[in-house]
Amino acid sequence: MNLQWFPGHMTKTRRMIEENLKLIDVVIELVDARIPLSSRNPQIDEIVSGKPRLLLLNKADIADATLNKEWERYFAARDIPALAICSTGGKGFGVVTDKCKELLKDRIERDRERGIVNRPVKLMVVGVPNVGKSSFINKLSGRKSAKTGDRPGVTTGKQWIRLANGFELLDTPGILWPKFEDPQVGLKLAYTGAIRDEVIDTEELVCHFLVYLRDNYPDKLVARYKMEDIEHLDGYELLQMLGKKRGFVVSGGEIDTLRAASVLLDEFRGAKLGNITLESPEKEI
């Protein structure tokens, strides 16, 4: 599938991040806990190089809990502090600001020696589209400061938000990168909704996804859609079976595969298939 998609505003967002970075003390990088590597923009390392950074595995509540722990250890082993959090339920939020202060302990100590106390800590939140930045900010601030939505592109401009305990936070729009060197990265971003559905062949995308689920989470398909004998079926055959099981039959007995594909994506993104993680640290080491 051709999933190269880099609208002009992505370049504008990168420039915005670079221009404001000099004001920032800590960069908070949000990734999707279901795809921790694929949802990390490789350009972010270059853009925010040298700044203290905290990586947050967002949407941990709908990812595989065991793999959440493994990913925390994976990043810690690479000197990247990481926490599994849930922006909607609040899991992990109690230590986010403490971790930011820990990253700045040397600077805070120097300030104290100079008689500077309670200087605001300025944070920047970065991440790919639809990773949950706005929900994260609203939860952290305790009020509805940022617009939220289940589709990418909700945040379109920067905004400063004052938090409790001397923190100030800069929200930025999601930023993808010009080209996915690994086609699987593009597919995983599309599965989770980081790429607009309007630019994707939904049926082809779901055929790829069904093969992944067949090989890695067959029990989820069986439990949700009452599918059976799926181990030797290809993606399109699985899509047709799903449509038939759901009763998506149109005139002439044809299966409405587009409707079936849309339902599968919606139910995966809404965690109705259960807790699923699409990447494992074991396969990356």
Cα–Cα distance for residue pair 111/121, rounded to 1 Å:
12
- Give the residue-averaged pLDDT of 134-144: 82
Per DSSP, which regions of 202-254 are E strands?
Answer: none
How many angstroms from the chain centroid is the CA of residue 171?
15
pTM of the model: 0.85
Residue % of the chain over a pLDDT of 70: 89
Q: Is the pLDDT of residue 94 over 70?
A: yes
Report yes or no: 225 and 257 within 8 Å, Cβ to Cβ: no
Instruction: Say if residue 181's pLDDT is above 80.
Output: no
User: pLDDT band for position 14 (50/70/90)?
Assistant: confident
- Whole-number pLDDT of residue 10: 67
Confidence band, pLDDT 50/70/90 cuts, at residue 9: low
Q: What is d(CA 119, CA 122) in angstroms, rounded to the nearest whole number?
A: 9
pLDDT in the model for residue 174: 75
- Taking residues 201-229, report their average pLDDT: 95
User: What pLDDT sits at residue 92?
Assistant: 85
* Residue 93 · residue 163 · CB < 8 Å: no
**What pLDDT, on the 0 to 100 scale, is given for residue 154?**
42
- Tens of pLDDT, residue by residue over 153-180, are 444 456 788 887 788 998 877 777 656 6
- Output the pLDDT for position 18: 84
Say what the pLDDT of residue 285 is.
52
CA distance 74 to 81: 10
Say what the pLDDT of residue 146 is.
46
Q: In 3-state terms, what secondary structure has residue 8? A: helix
pLDDT at 196: 80
- Per mean pLDDT, which range of 90-99, 134-143, 150-159, 184-193 is the poorest? 150-159
Q: Which residue has the tokens 């004001």?
A: 23
Q: Mean pLDDT of all residues in the chain?
A: 86
Compute CA 94 distance to the chain's CA centroid, rounded to the nearest angstrom: 20
Q: What is the pLDDT of residues 64-73, one digit of tens each?
A: 999 999 999 9
Q: In terms of pLDDT, which residue wins out, 212 or 196?
A: 212
